[in-house]
């Protein structure tokens, strides 16, 4: 790698990764993910990384322009990521209760995994009410495509695939391909 490439790598990657590490507020982080893309870890809950967890992909969209955001908002909130998980660029994982991602999961670019509604849905409580929440479980060997949103209360079964651009509002059984908005089963995997 030439000196110009090393300077680019330092200025546009390493400094950004360091910046977001310094801006992170979560004090209950365990495990050491392999960081290729800036990652902001916030909240007063726990965030746990297994072995060989990769954050960011160099030859993928949003590598130089975005960052990933994980938040375990409350003291009892938890994000748990298993072993051999690869999370592409610009991923948001936000837990008010618990989000569990088991081993060997692939997550595409620009995905959101949200175990809550963000705000209360009742008009009179929207600004200050407590949003509804429900745990999310993503089982082993799941492949989540680009631009996917997974919403509260969803379980994605083992070996399943979630197609690009899907919005997953209901649980997905094992060994299927789902796609669409809302996501529906389009194929079984043998």
Helices (H), the chain: 3-9, 15-23
Give residue for tokens 């631009």.
147
Angle at 29 between CA 25 and CA 34, to 5 degrees: 105
Residue 119 annotated in active site: yes
- β-bridge partners, 30: 48
Residue-wise DSSP of 107-133:
E-TT-EEESB-SS-SSGGGTTTSPPPB
Catalytic residue among 37, 66, 90, 119: 119
DSSP state of 133: B
User: What is the set of active-site residues?
Assistant: 119
């Amino acid at each position: 790698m030439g000196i110009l490439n090393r300077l680019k790598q330092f200025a546009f990657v390493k400094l950004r990764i360091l910046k977001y590490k310094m801006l992170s507020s979560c004090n209950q982080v365990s495990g050491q993910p392999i960081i290729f893309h800036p990652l902001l870890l916030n909240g007063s809950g726990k965030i746990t990384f297994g072995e060989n967890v990769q954050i960011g992909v160099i030859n993928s969209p949003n590598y130089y322009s975005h960052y990933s955001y994980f938040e375990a908002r409350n003291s009892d909130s938890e994000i748990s990521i298993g072993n051999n998980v690869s999370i592409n660029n610009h991923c948001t994982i936000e837990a008010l209760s618990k989000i569990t991602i088991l081993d060997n999961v692939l997550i595409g670019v620009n995905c959101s995994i949200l175990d809550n509604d963000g705000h209360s849905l009742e008009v009179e409580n929207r600004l200050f009410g407590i949003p509804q929440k429900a745990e999310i479980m993503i089982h082993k060997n799941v492949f989540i495509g680009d631009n996917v949103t997974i919403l509260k209360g969803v379980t994605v079964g083992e070996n399943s695939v979630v197609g690009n651009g899907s919005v997953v509002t209901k649980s997905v059984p094992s060994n299927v391909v789902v796609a669409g908005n809302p996501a529906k089963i389009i194929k079984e995997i043998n």
